[in-house]
Chains A and B, each alone.
Chain A
């Protein structure tokens, strides 16, 4: 998740600089507030992803030498509906399966 985190933090930093320059130069509030909010919208997930990437082991999708077998994650059996994905090779990582079943289970087919 390092690349994702750095991308969002870089965007947030850029918006912050742009916001600071614009707000001080133009003294106009609407655009300044919108850019400030955009900066927060980038920093919030970016900081979370950065914290997550430092705390968790490398996922198979972030490992350039990962094998197909590493990506066959463990689904939580009781939460997988009978009509759920049954492809012989699952592309989901274990963390994704856990994340999907815990936080997005209603939206899964």
Chain B
């Protein structure tokens, strides 16, 4: 029987005696490996570097906005900063971290597969991502600077007349490369989950994280080709003389917004669903209970994904050319399955033996922060309120609440699965200090921006009117950003401090799912042996046979 202090080493020896793989080592391993764990680690490290780069841009932006007529950067530099901050955070950090990093490492092990379905395609995905990231960031080294038209690249601002430099072309090229990377990852994830599950691992026994990644992969396959097409059209307008988005040639500028947001809204769910899955796993384990409403979670996630493809024009309410009632109704409807997930997370915790480890703190922090962001979504889904708050800091605060909640969940995922991947735990005290800096920093950062938005402060402005209240609120938001920066530094300090210090064992959290059955770190093809899989908690069933999941028709014996 396994408990946290005395884990049973069921997976086999943690050396290579039983593992026949003799691949390259050192730098050659990192350059040529097709092992999903190595590729996933590469994604993780690259994505965290992108987080730091995007975070540095954010600190400079907040430094500029700490005073009404800030002179930290010029107006042109400010435009580049907010464009590249958004681009780096969404295209180069959140997306790849969500479906390339932890997904690559964990999904095959969670379903009992030896690797992803297409290992070489997996490697290609990573190298396309890295190349795309370098391409996009190299815009800073061009004469005209990086792209400066916002992370959404609206036409006609992004055409060759208004954005003539190479930075814009590098932005488009970088996005195309990372887009293909995402599509290939979507193909790989779908094929892996459909075809490489272990015997007995039926679809309704898969962990919720894997389900969420499957639905994310399907969303990627539906949405990313649309972005790719739009980018090719934009590039053609810039360089091949087409007039798809220019009025002069008979084109329609708002068509870019339709195409972009048809991708853009599913994209935010492509970012969010993997983190939802992480939180579900963490809450169940650290409440020592099965997931509350397992099938409800799955159907809620499917509903969110389905609805997300029909709400794109709520980003375009103020253009005057979209069907307001349709998109308003569909946007409000998404709150229903999201609410189901919220209640299921609470239900999982309810009357559980809750252990507030760092991972659990991060998960609970996510639930609160995402709730705040989600409630403000309801306001924005209503056209009259959106007309008032569009392009103000209310929108900025809303989406930062949501994405910072995802950062909390991602940190929780790293603390939860880090021991499985590396074989070593991170220091819990430092982790909890990091959590409080991050959580408090997020609230201090976002709440003033809600008020600023309601008072009419527009977004994407380097300077603003010298209203004492606006200055004060901006300074408080900048303080929040500093706290978030400190938490990131603490995370790096924790990784360095804890390096190979606290051996984890196979299952330090007494967790439920299949990845905790194997060694930490797993061997080359993930398992020396597999347990019988008879429920969605095979490791728990193996370690706690007295509390295993009952089969259909089986009833608990009652005591006389």
Q: A residues touching B (Cβ–Cβ < 8 Å)?
A: 1, 3-4, 7-8, 10-11, 14-15, 18, 21-22, 25-26, 28, 30-31, 34-35, 38, 41-42, 49, 60-68, 70-71, 83, 85-93, 96, 99-100, 104, 106-109
Some 9 contacts from A to B, beta carbons below 8 A apart, are A3-B202, A22-B326, A28-B321, A34-B262, A42-B222, A61-B198, A92-B196, A104-B117, A109-B34
A-contact 0/1 string along B301-324, CB 8 Å cutoff? 010011001101100000001110
A31 near B258 with CB under 8 A, answer yes
CB proximity to A under 8 Å, residues B28-48: 34-35
Known: A68-B532, A70-B199. A91 touches B205 (CB 8 A): no
Cross-chain pair count, CB within 8 angstroms: 140
Identify the closest chain A residue to B221 (Cβ).
Answer: A41
Check A35 against B310 for contact (C-beta < 8 Å): yes
A22's nearest neighbour on chain B, judged by CB, is B326
Cα of A14 to Cα of B529 in the assembled complex, Å: 41
- Closest chain B CB from A16 CB (angstroms): 11
Given the complex, which residues of A lie within 8 Å of B120, measured CB to CB?
Answer: 106-109
Do B222 and A38 touch across chains, with their CB atoms under 8 A apart?
yes
| A87 to chain B: closest residue by CB | B525
Q: Give min CB distance, A13 to chain B, whole Å.
A: 10
Q: Mark B99-134, 1 if CB is under 8 A from A, else 0.
A: 000000000000011110111110000000000000
Nearest residue, chain B, Cβ from A61: B197
Identify which of residues 491-542 in chain B touch chain A, using a CB-to-CB cut-off of 8 Å. 525-530, 532-534
Q: How far is the CB of B392 from chain A (nearest CB, A)?
A: 26
For B262, list chain A residues within 8 Å (CB): 30-31, 34
Could you tell me if B309 and A60 are in contact, using CB atoms closer than 8 angstroms? no
Residues of chain A lying within 8 A (CB to CB) of residue B121 = 107
A90–B529 Cα distance when bound, in Å, is 9
Shortest Cβ distance from B305 into A: residue: A11
Q: Judge whether B119 and A109 touch: CB under 8 Å.
A: yes
Q: A10 — which chain B residues lie within 8 A by C-beta? A: 302
Q: A-contacting residues of B (Cβ < 8 Å)?
A: 20-21, 23, 34-35, 112-115, 117-121, 194-205, 218, 221-222, 226, 255, 258-259, 262, 302, 305-306, 309-310, 312-313, 321-323, 326, 330, 525-530, 532-534
Is B199 a contact of A15 with CB atoms below 8 Å? Answer: no
Decide: A60 and B326 in contact? CB cutoff 8 A: no
For the complex, give the distance between the alpha carbons of A96 and B199 in Å: 12
Q: In the complex, given contacts A26-B322, A35-B309, A92-B114, what are 20 additional A-B residue pairs having Cβ atoms less than 8 angstroms apart?
A: A4-B203, A11-B218, A11-B306, A25-B323, A30-B255, A31-B262, A34-B259, A42-B218, A60-B200, A64-B205, A68-B198, A70-B199, A85-B525, A89-B527, A89-B529, A91-B198, A100-B117, A106-B120, A109-B35, A109-B120
B196 lies within 8 A of A91 (CB): yes
Which residues from A are CB-within-8-Å of B528? 87-89
* In the complex, residue of chain A having the shortest beta-carbon distance to the beta carbon of B123: A109
Q: Whole-angstrom distance from the CB of A49 to the nearest CB of chain B? A: 8
B113 x A66 contact (CB < 8 A) = no
Nearest 8 A/B pairs, CB to CB: A71-B199, A66-B199, A60-B199, A61-B197, A3-B203, A26-B323, A87-B525, A107-B118
- Complex: A41 Cα to B222 Cα, angstroms: 7
Whether the pair A4, B323 counts as a contact (CB closer than 8 A) is no
**Residues of B with C-beta under 8 A to A91:** 112-114, 196-199, 527, 530
C-alpha spacing A67/B222, complex, angstroms: 35
Q: Which residues of B contact A71 (CB under 8 A)?
A: 198-199, 530
How distant is the Cα of A99 from the Cα of B196 in the complex, in angstroms? 11
